[in-house]
Amino acid sequence: MTKFNVCFIILTMEKLFYLDNAATTKAFDENFDLIKKANDELFYNPSSSYNKSIKTKNELEKSREIINKLLHGKMGKLYFTSSATESNNTIFSGVHLRAGQTVLISKGEHPSVYNSAHNLSKKGINVIDIPLTETGEVDFEEYKKLLNDKTVSLISIIHSSNETGRINDIEKLCKYAKSVNPKIIFHSDGVQAFGKIKVNLMKLGIDIYTISAHKIYSVRGIGGLWIKDGIIVDPLLLGGGQENGFRSSTENIAGAIAFAYSAQKVYDDFDKNYEKVLSQKNEFLTKLTNSKVKEYLRVNSLNDNNPYVLSLSFDNIKGEVLMHALEGDGVLVSTGSACSSKKAGNRILEAMGIKNSFVIGSIRVSFSPYLDYDFDYIVSCFEKNVLRFEKNVNIKK
């Protein structure tokens, strides 16, 4: 092997393109400067009453105010939690429900909503899944039929799908539910929406909204739950009464400050980011759909979806096998939600009526405006691996 060939192999192996940003994002470097500063100057317990603690408490409230303003959430309060999963679990344990009442959730929910909601059936609460259309959003006609049930008390519908990027018309869905029964509590999981598509809680008209820090280039270990004034949700954690009695636990000051910084930066860059990600998605799809794999490819995401998330399927190829093959070439994608990747199949794609041979061959590609991609190289990796696996499948046939 020549010196040139050795160098070429080394350079090829050093390529790394991260396309799993829906699972988590790389935190902005400034986050860690802020965390260090908080650790040096704001390590005091905000529940104490001396001046250093009061200053720490003020920084916490300032962070809360920044995020709440970005949400257009002045008619409610943002509570900091440890994660979006905790936030979603809090809703289904804390909203006052009794046996015989009904909860509606979409079939497209994240596992932290889907599993938390269905756990309520142990308490005699009816939990009904709202069907999806073939394009992945809530089926509005079926939704209206389900709302004829006067026992419906809580609705939870994801804002933007973590699997396909499909955007539900939350304003329309909430408005209809409230017209049927103004007392219905409406929640939306906004984890894949906040910072990526326009979110205005005042306009949406909802009661509860979930967000997460590590999906928008901040640190893990902190999330948010926004609750409209007047909506009663019992705390999941009991203890010292932090977060106005809503979530006991000494507050994560450094995490809140980092969360607010990243949220503000993402929104300052919002239009530029959106255009860049849309361009990334379009370039990738154009090259992929004009490549040698087009006859095996199914695009599960529509053009008007959230461009940050793209679902693809390859007929008769196991998505997990393709994912690991691409990893070997330095292209990191996923088979779907990181929170459900250990389970067979794909509940959301199945709910869209997608053929099983495409469901098992599904992968998720999710982009970042803060990363650059060589899509010629990435598509060449898809071509090499898909054609290799398709050849093996055809031989077995």
Catalytic residues, which ones?
339
> What residue ranges in the chain does DSSP mark as E strands?
17-18, 76-81, 102-106, 126-130, 152-156, 185-189, 208-212, 223-228, 297-299, 309-314, 331-332, 362-366
**What values do phi and psi take at 110, rounded to 5?**
-65, 150
Q: Annotate 341-364 with b (16+ C-beta within 10 A) or e (fewer).
A: eeeeebbbbebbebeeebbbbbbb
- Cα–Cα distance, 211 to 86 (Å, whole number): 11
Q: Which of 294, 298, 397, 293 is nearest to 357 (CA)?
A: 298
All residues at 6 or more sequence positions from 190 whose CB lies less than 8 Å from its CB, including other chains: 159, 160, 199, 209, 210, 211
On whether the CB atoms of residues 345 and 360 are closer than 8 A, the answer is yes
**Which of 361, 308, 309, 357 lies closest to 335 in space, CA to CA?**
361
Query: Are residues 291 and 382 in contact, defined by beta-carbon separation less than 8 angstroms?
Result: yes
For residue 389, how many C-alpha atoms fall within 13 Å in the half-sphere facing its CB?
21
Token output for 161: 């799908």
Which two three-digit tokens encode residue 144? Answer: 């209206």
Type of residue found at 390: E
Measure CA of the first residue to CA of the last residue in the chain; give whole Å. 37
Contact 382, 326 (CB under 8 A): yes
